[in-house]
Structure formats: structure tokens, C-alpha cells
Amino acid sequence: MRSLITLQKQLLPDVLDVMVKRYRILQNIRLMQPIGRRSLSANIQLSERVLRSEVTFLKDQRLVDFTTAGMSLTEQGEGLFLELEEMMKELLGLSSLEKELEQRLGVPKVIVVSGDSDENDWVKHELGQATSLELSSRLKPKDVVAVMGGTTLAAVARMMTADAKNREVVFVPARGGLGEKVENQANTISAEFASRAGAQYRLLHVPDQLSEEAYSSLILEPSVQEILTIIKSASVVIHGIGDAETMATRRNSKVPSLQKLIDNHAVGEAFGYYFDENGKSIYKQRTIGLQLDELDQDKYVISVAGGHSKAKAIAAYVKNRPSDVLVTDEGAARSLLDL
């Protein structure tokens, strides 16, 4: 397959350009269907005039269906897209990016999706799709899945699909709430995962940040102890990786904490731990939930983070605790290789 693609690049570069363009159109329709032409045009940065011609061609090929709600893939279009996916990863250079990152970062499996989520919101849907497929392939009956919060994890949850084998799977929040938008909190996201996957869920009704006195009191509550026992028994953990300063701001960190992060050149955050470029933990916020040092070898850890701005944060985190799987996008992947 690779040799054929190489030949096509040399002999028929225009054909490959058209193929990539139409693949991107199918990809975006699949992720956001039903979608209108204007929204699709903005997402893939293609003029409405050119897009009109392309989607008309795809409709004539019975790959796309038009309704008043917008465009959707037909069954034939879905089948063609799935057949194209692996070949397009080769063509777009994503497969080689994955292999190079696995070696560079020491992560057993890296999945790279096309695009840059700093520049296009639809890429988060791609990250979600890739992560949900990876998770679904790992799930077994009676598994406990601990889920962190954030916009990327919310996108992953929306891409989950129901499966009979998930009936006894339990999704739990890996930590309390940040006090941010409810749709981005771990409780909400774990419930969304369960609803989409046809699974069960439990909630942790505590704030993420606590004073020492409040922490000592809450940790003794029987209901809190019960859910914490379930969370710590998780066989699968899904989490994001954040930029240190952004996460500190989201958590409304007090000035001394924020200044400490700046003074120590913190670049990344995960599980309430802040890391410098060497992966050294330089600050930890007191939280109720799963702790970084509890990610033992029995837990299958899936890290999800995209966008070129996250490159330093991703590199810092994996130096501290390499994940079993890293799901990222092309923007972050290329920036990671440039570090």
C-alpha cells in the first residue's frame, strides 16, 4: 500500500489532492451529521462554491444524503469512509507520526488524528472518535472506568456508542468538580459516557479543591469512602493533559500557588499535579479522587490531549508517567517532534 501511495504522489499528485479534499469532507460530515453546507464550509475552510460542487458529486455517488436538517453520510458513504481511513493515515503521514512518537515518548501506543484542535473545533470530535474506539476495544464486563473532566473528555463521551457487553461496566468520575461549567465536570462526563455506552455510573459529590480541615472531614464520610473505593479499583483511566497556567486559572488557584508555578517553570498538569519540562512534579493540589501515584500497572491509562499549544504539557507528563495509550492530533504531534 505504501509503495502504491508513493507512486501516486509522484505520477498523479492532483488526484491525491482531490482524494484528500473529499475524504476531509466525508470525515467532517460523519463527525457532525446532520450538518449544513455553511457550517461545513467554515469547518474545513473551503469556499461554499467549491464545497457545493464537491458535495453534489458525493451525492451523485450516493455517499451523502441531503435533508432539511443538513447533510449526512449514507450507509454506502459510511462504508467507504471506513475503508479509506487506514490508507488516508498513510497518505497524510499520520502512521509514521505515530511510530516516531511512540519511540520518542516511550508510549506503547500513540494514535494521531488529522488537524489541530487549537485551530479547528471539529478536531476534538476526531479525538473523541479515536478515543471512544480505543476504549470500546478494551472494555470487558464489570470493568470500572475512571474519567477526568474537561472539554476534550466531554467530546470523547459524546462519541461513545452502546454495546450489550457494557451493561455491567461502571463509569465513575476520577475526581470532584472544578466549579466550572457543569458539562465539563467529571461527574457529568462520566454519566454521559455511561448513557451513550449503555453502562452504569456512580457520582462523587464533592468539590475538587478543599481546605485541609474540610478534606479531613469529608474523607471520613462513609458515602465518600464507598465511591472512592470504587474509583481506586478502576481498571481503565481516561484523562486529559492541561497547560499548567491555564489549569491553575481554571481552578482559581491562589496567588502564591500560581506564582510558584511560574517561578518553577511549570508547563503541564494532570490529576492536580503540575510538572516542569523535565517531568518533575513541582506542585500538587489537595484533591479528593484518583491520585497520580495510584496509577499502577493494573490500570490501563488512556491520555487524550490535542493542539500544538499542548506539546510541552504532553511531553512533561509522559516523562513522569508514560501512558498505555496517547491519543493526540497532528498539530500536537508535529510540535512534539519539534521540541
The reply to whether the predicted model has a pTM over 0.95 is no
pLDDT of residue 178: 56
Question: What are the sequence ranges of the domains in the chain?
Answer: 4-90, 93-338
DSSP letters for 1-69: -HHHHHHHHHH-HHHHHHHHHHHHHHHHHHHH-SB-HHHHHHHHT--HHHHHHHHHHHHHTTSEEEETT
Cα–Cα dist 200/169, whole Å: 6
CATH topology of domain 4-90: Arc Repressor Mutant, subunit A (1.10.10)
Output b/e per residue, 284-305; b: 16+ Cβ within 10 A. ebebbbbebeebeeebbbbbbb
CATH topology of domain 93-338: Rossmann fold (3.40.50)
- One pLDDT digit (tens) per residue for the chain, 339 residues: 556 666 666 666 677 778 888 888 898 888 888 888 888 888 777 888 888 889 899 999 999 999 888 899 999 998 888 888 878 887 788 889 999 999 999 999 999 998 899 988 888 888 998 999 999 999 999 999 999 988 889 989 998 988 888 999 999 999 876 556 677 788 999 999 999 999 999 988 776 566 666 666 776 778 888 888 999 999 999 999 988 888 877 766 554 577 788 888 889 999 888 999 998 988 887 777 888 888 888 899 999 999 999 999 999 999 987 789 999 999 999 999 998
- 4-90 and 93-338: same fold? no
Q: Are 332 and 306 in contact (CB under 8 A)?
A: yes
pLDDT of residue 210: 60
Contacts 24+ apart (CB under 8 A), 64-73: 64/26, 64/29, 67/34, 69/34, 70/33, 70/34, 70/35, 70/36, 70/37, 70/39, 71/29, 71/33, 71/34, 71/35, 71/36, 71/37, 71/40, 72/29, 72/33, 72/34, 73/26, 73/29, 73/30, 73/33
pLDDT of residue 255: 46
pLDDT of residue 314: 95
